[in-house]
Amino acid sequence: MRKLLFIGAALLLAGCSGGPDDRLTGYVEAETLYMAPQETGVVSEILVEAGDAVAAGDVLFRMEAEKTAYQVKQASAAAKSAEKRVDETGPLAKAVMEAEADLERASLDFARTEELHKEGYVAKAKLDNERAALKAAEARLERARAERDAAREDYQSAEAQAGFAQQRLDDLAVTAPKAGTVERIFRREGEVAAAGDPVAALLPPENVKLRFYAPEELLSSFRPGQEIGFACDGCASGRRARVTYVASEPQFTPPVIYSLDEREKLVFLIEARPVNPEGLRPGLPVDITKP
């Protein structure tokens, strides 16, 4: 009888080995992207549903665009009008060319009159008139060039305004910045969404991570870049993750994972990225194999 009790105790101890002491408990966490409009408006169309897989660049939803489209037309028309004024065949370019020609004639007339005045063939009054005409021609050219340059600046401003209006119109179609899965839809067609107010939540697979806590005596076993093993309910065996973060300060075991035996322990937060995040959902408990 004593021998049977000894065998039973040994079997019980063997069953306990490889249990919780060989693993660290953690959970899956997701860094969800909350997709929102840049400006307040009405949601006109939602093109995805929760659970849909989308590629980078796919349109998730559109905001009402009628008002912005009118602004684009107005800004584009203003830019075209300003462009005509600065065209090489436009009135301002012609005014500059005429002023340059007038200045050239005035310069020749003044030079000729000045030479004749030196030789005594022309009175000083004539020379003064030619000098005044030259200065007036110079002023006209300077004014024509200033008007042309100002028109060019106006055109650049109008062109920038047209580009900005077009960008606002394009931004009303909100696209996925990365490939991922649509986790949730917060708004419906016809509802008003404020700027920055999420309409859809997107989860790229690379934004899934594992969070777990290790006691101080095991902290040196986990280093950023190190691969570790983990398991979860319904997951394939042999899953791996790469450590990305190890906290420098301890904390008490969080209530979400503590047991009665561990709730007073000081532990360090560790994060790891799964090598293959397929099938991992936020909140899923995981067991991390101790190194």
**Percent of the residues in the chain that have a pLDDT greater than 90, as a whole number:** 56
Lowest-pLDDT choice from 31-40, 84-93, 172-181: 84-93
Provide CATH code, domain 34-64+173-202. Answer: 2.40.50.100
Could you give the angle at the alpha carbon of 275 between the alpha carbons of 226 and 35, nearest 5°? 115
The predicted pLDDT at position 19 comes to 45
pLDDT band at 1 (very low <50, low <70, confident <90, very high): very low
The tens digit of pLDDT for each residue in 93-126 reads: 888 899 899 989 989 988 988 888 888 888 888 8
User: Does the pLDDT of residue 215 top 80, yes or no?
Assistant: yes
Query: What global pTM score does this model have?
Result: 0.68
Helices (H), 119-199: 124-171
pLDDT band at 15 (very low <50, low <70, confident <90, very high): very low
Give the separation between CA 235 and CA 278, rounded to whole angstroms: 9
For residues 213 and 268, the answer to whether their CB atoms sit within 8 Å is yes
Over its C-alpha atoms, the chain yields an Rg (Å, rounded) of 39
For residues 167 and 189, the answer to whether their CB atoms sit within 8 Å is no
Q: Which of 207, 215, 193 is nearest to 281 (CA)?
A: 207
Q: Where are the domains of the chain?
A: 21-31+204-289, 34-64+173-202, 67-171
The tens digit of pLDDT for each residue in 137-154 reads: 899 989 988 988 888 898
Side-chain half-sphere CA neighbours of 240 within 13 A: 5
Q: Angle at which helices 124-171 and 66-85 pack, to 10 degrees?
A: 160
Asked if domains 21-31+204-289 and 34-64+173-202 share a fold, the reply is no
The predicted pLDDT at position 14 comes to 38
Q: What CATH topology corresponds to 21-31+204-289?
A: Elongation Factor Tu (Ef-tu); domain 3 (2.40.30)
Q: In one letter, which amino acid is 83?
A: E
